[in-house]
Amino acid sequence: MDNVILARLSRVALRMISIIFGSLGIFCFFWSCMGLRTAAHAIVCLGIATAIVLASDSEKRAGR
């Protein structure tokens, strides 16, 4: 029972981190006209957020 709660809490924490990275990525994407470095930050932040979401949802897609 404790492992299930811990797994859910870690998934929620990872989801919150991905929301933060995604928001930062969208913000950087909006301001990417300011320079190449800002555009690179946008790509990295959005990539991290996408990777976290795909990794945390892999158990649901596998049918476990």
28 in a domain, yes or no? yes
Average pLDDT over residues 52-58: 84
pLDDT reported for residue 60? 65
8 in a domain, yes or no? no
pLDDT reported for residue 23? 97
Q: How many domains does the chain have?
A: 1
> Under a CB-based contact definition with an 8 Å cutoff, are residues 3 and 20 in contact?
no
> Looking at 20-24, 25-29, 56-60, which range is the least confident one?
56-60
30 in a domain, yes or no? yes
> Under a CB-based contact definition with an 8 Å cutoff, are residues 21 and 45 in contact?
yes
The rounded distance, in Å, linking the Cα atoms of 48 and 44 is 6
pLDDT at 64 over 80: no
11 in a domain, yes or no? no
Mean pLDDT of the chain: 89
